[in-house]
Amino acid sequence: MRSSRFSCSDIENLRSELKADSQAVPFQDFGAGSMGNTSTVSGIARLSLKRPKHARALAALTDHLKCNAALELGTSLGLTSAYIARFSKLLTTVEGNPHIQRLAQSNLTRLGVENVRSLSGEFDTVWDAFGDSTYDLIFIDGNHRGSALIRYAKKSLTMLHTNGVLVCDDIHWSSDMERAWKHLCSMPEWTLQMDAFEWGLLTRNQALKREHMCIRF
């Protein structure tokens, strides 16, 4: 792995530890693809989290945006949260499974990450707790159903800084998600729409022309 200032060896050491942790986690189904078929810390760490290169890419995007406030829907074990938080003034992150949320809090404490507001609850139910903040980055990484993605993206519009970026995870995970992504791209609000395969990025930044691009990395 090439080293960059977005490489976080302490987070990756913790990831290795979690991949070997056979502790059982009570399963709660919050949405398509929420936990795969697993119910151990090891399974979640192996299957549910953004891989290191994608976590580094998110960290780089957070840094580029000079994030004052970021929002993550879907904390899981908190590793990607840690990457984002390291390059943002504050991260708000939400996890529906209280057992997983407690594990995430303990992981963030171990990593010495203190600028995280960790919320427990179903996304729509806790939405009001996101407050009046304007977020520079919103990362939707939970409940991979097309209708849910569209709903979260539309609700995000009022909270997203005009130059902010909405990152929609797993846009090619299913035909339902692909349809939702196409629908989002057709909305007049967005200028740049970027398909990076792993996720789709949308911004309303008026300095950018309305354009749809695909990148692979």
Ligand X SMILES: C[S@@+](CC[C@H](N)C(=O)[O-])C[C@H]1O[C@@H](n2cnc3c(N)ncnc32)[C@H](O)[C@@H]1O
Q: How far is the CB of 61 from ligand X (least distance, A)?
A: 14
Q: How far is the CB of 90 from ligand X (least distance, A)?
A: 17
Contact 88, 68 (CB under 8 A): yes
Cross-strand partners of 194 = 201, 213
Q: How far is the CB of 186 from ligand X (least distance, A)?
A: 24
Nearer to ligand X, 149 or 204 (CB): 149
Question: Among 205, 203, 71, which Cα is nearest to 135's?
Answer: 71
**Whose structure tokens read 């609000």?**
189
DSSP per residue, 29-57? --STTSSTT--BHHHHHHHTSPPHHHHHH
**DSSP code of 48?**
T
Contact 88, 114 (CB under 8 A): no
Q: How far is the CB of 34 from ligand X (least distance, A)?
A: 4
Contact 109, 85 (CB under 8 A): no
**Whose structure tokens read 């302490």?**
10
Q: How far is the CB of 25 from ligand X (least distance, A)?
A: 9
Nearer to ligand X, 78 or 164 (CB): 78
Nearer to ligand X, 88 or 143 (CB): 143
Contact 153, 185 (CB under 8 A): no
Nearer to ligand X, 91 or 204 (CB): 91
- Closest residue to ligand X: CB criterion: 96
Residues at the site binding ligand X, with contacts judged by CB under 6 A: 30-31, 34-35, 48-50, 72, 74, 76, 79-80, 94-97, 100, 122-123, 141-143
Nearer to ligand X, 50 or 161 (CB): 50
**Whose structure tokens read 């990152």?**
167
